[in-house]
A and B are shown apart, each in its own frame.
Chain A
Amino acid sequence: GESVGLHLPTLSVQEGDNSIINCAYSNSASDYFIWYKQESGKGPQFIIDIRSNMDKRQGQRVTVLLNKTVKHLSLQIAATQPGDSAVYFCAEKELSWGKLQFGAGTQVVVTP
């Protein structure tokens, strides 16, 4: 399944499928974009980040894409697993040491 934007707060994905979570950001001055995963009752956990001078970065089972033209960020999770069930937040910041500005989260539910 594919998220069509943050106005869709829940993304249901079948185990083994790929997930795509989308995020629109607003600050053109942001230099860093980060994806966080938050499980129930826990603090946000860093997944992957990308700097504004890049358009793609890959990690383990995750890929982040950045489109500065339309101020759009996406997180792709390959072969989604039950442990991927969580709320995912995109965040941006202007400076490497700066505060995080979070976007609205997307609840990902992985079904067997």
Chain B
Amino acid sequence: AAGVIQSPRHLIKEKRETATLKCYPIPRHDTVYWYQQGPGQDPQFLISFYEKMQSDKGSIPDRFSAQQFSDYHSELNMSSLELGDSALYFCASSRTGQGQHEQFFGPGTRLTVL
């Protein structure tokens, strides 16, 4: 079965640089969620999109932005990177309606800011 695809899997950036993380949801899933997981921490919700519109926003810094495109893939854009942005970034997707609500997580992108 197809799963959530994230790219790149690993990313190393310098402080103040920018980064773009990509997420390809499971086919026919209409909702995408982004989570940030610091070392030894639980995942923290950043932002979500339903049918290409932002549906909810969590603790996402103003330096970050995201969008969902017509093909339902999503990108998380991160600017002015800080050391504290080093974390695992997970994308999850789900299909709303018909009682289905399970969020399926991708393998994550490990971002290291030096």
Contacts and interface: CB of A to CB of B under 8 A. Distances in A.
Interface of A: 32, 34, 36, 41-46, 49, 89, 96-105
Contacts of B58: 99
A99 B43 contact: no
A42 B96 contact: no
Nearest to B4: A43
A75 to B, nearest CB: 15
Contacts of A45: 105
Given A42-B107, A43-B92, A46-B104, 18 more contacts: A32-B101, A34-B102, A43-B90, A43-B105, A46-B103, A49-B102, A96-B99, A97-B50, A97-B94, A98-B56, A99-B33, A99-B48, A99-B56, A100-B35, A100-B103, A101-B45, A102-B44, A104-B42
Contacts of B43: 44, 89, 100, 102
A90 B16 CA distance: 35
11 contacts: A34-B102, A42-B107, A43-B92, A44-B90, A89-B42, A97-B101, A98-B56, A99-B33, A100-B43, A100-B92, A101-B45
Interface of A is mostly: loop
Interface residues of B, number: 26
A92 to B, nearest CB: 12
Contacts of A97: 31, 50, 55, 94, 96, 101
A100 B94 CA distance: 12
Interface string B54-95: 011010000000000000000000000000000000101010
